[in-house]
Amino acid sequence: MILSLFALLAATDQMAPPAANSAPVEAASEIPSLSLPKSPVFLATGPRESTPKLTNFPKETTTSAPSGAAKNVKKNSRDRKKEKQDNETLKVIVPNASLKQRYDQCVNMIDRDPEQAAEIANTWRLSAGGVLANQCLGMAYVALGRYSAGVDSFEQAARESDLEHDGRSAIFWSQAGNAALANQDPGAARNAFDHALMSPVMPDKMRGNTLSDRARADVAVGDYAIARQDIDKALKLIPKDATAWLMSATLARHQGDLTRAKNDITEAEKFAPLDTHVSFEKGLIYALSGDKETAKSAWERTIRANPSAEIAEVARKALSEIDDMPANAATEPKSTAPKAP
């Protein structure tokens, strides 16, 4: 159902999904990231679109692991240089070629046949497959839409990783949090993201993404004040991330801070000028501000960018109603956003 413009402006949960602004990252030592379908609801249920699955591992074998905040996994010069260049995700060291091959086969099967991948991963798990078997199983469950089972598998991988003190558990906790968001369980998501953020070896970009993901869970439980804190922290770590700026603009709109909303949506446009969710959100912000012409222009860009998309249809509906919007509409949403407990 397409909401009317007035309903869109007053709704407390009508938020845009993340901007697809991140390019695939080529790296030889990253664990596959969880990739979940986009949701039409912004902070409440829709985890951000993650880095594509990467299944290549380093040839070197490293057994050292952090035992506390002051310890880091030892890396050779190539690993250190790569981490400085992309600062994307934690490194995963695979102990031998046979495990690498088994993991690759399991993960690669997900795109072709997730049911078969789940069977392969479960069989592997039952034969002491450990952390990577559980992670592959979680990814297969997510591909099947079995988000609750995915949460369980990712959490099991995280706990086993914690027991091994290998510094990788933040990846699995983050994946568990995203799966919980997809499962409409923001409480479990916040708990998982809390665990992930405890990691002392998480790179800045991953920490920023995790903070913005936790903000989705914050909003879903009505904790707007904490969501603002999480997004502001994220923006310091990932200042060129259009998704984070879009989230910040949308949250500011819901909190009635249209000045900040305008500033933040402008920042989002810098990094994702063609993104339909950015332009649609800009239309909502300027409609509330009484600037109907700017709102119309933004929604027209949304339609031109992808005429057949659902969001384009919503933009058409908004365009057809904006001239009937009352002059005092800008004051209405301020009383509709839930207050933080």
Q: Given pLDDT bands bounded at 50, 70 and 90, which one contains residue 220?
A: very high
Residue 316 to residue 59: CA distance in whole angstroms:
53
The arithmetic mean of pLDDT across residues 146-156, rounded, is 97
Q: Which residue has the higher pLDDT, 39 or 180?
A: 180
Beta carbons of 1 and 63 less than 8 angstroms apart: no
Residue 297 to residue 303: CA distance in whole angstroms:
10
Buried b (16+ CB within 10 A) or exposed e, 30-45: bbbbbbbeebebbbbb
Mind listing the domains of the chain with CATH numbers?
Answer: 244-324 (1.25.40)
pLDDT score, position 332:
41
Residue 338 has which token pair?
A: 């839930």
Helix (H, G, I), strand (E, B) or coil at 149: helix
Residue 232 to residue 223: CA distance in whole angstroms:
15
Q: Given pLDDT bands bounded at 50, 70 and 90, which one contains residue 7?
A: low
Residue 281 to residue 43: CA distance in whole angstroms:
13
Closest CA to 172 of 135, 117, 136: 135
Helix (H, G, I), strand (E, B) or coil at 150: helix
List Cβ neighbours of 86 (8 Å cut-off, separation of 6 or more): 25, 27, 205
Residue 174 has which token pair?
A: 């983050």
Beta carbons of 233 and 256 less than 8 angstroms apart: no
Residue in the block written with tokens 């989230």: 247
pLDDT score, position 324:
79
Residue 198 to residue 67: CA distance in whole angstroms:
13
Residue 149 to residue 264: CA distance in whole angstroms:
36
pLDDT score, position 294:
96
Residue 3 to residue 10: CA distance in whole angstroms:
11
Q: Which pTM value belongs to this model? A: 0.73
Residue 189 to residue 209: CA distance in whole angstroms:
14
302 burial class (0-12, 13-18, 19+ CB within 10 angstroms)? buried
Beta carbons of 158 and 195 less than 8 angstroms apart: yes
For 10-37, write each residue's pLDDT tens digit: 553 434 344 433 332 222 223 333 323 2
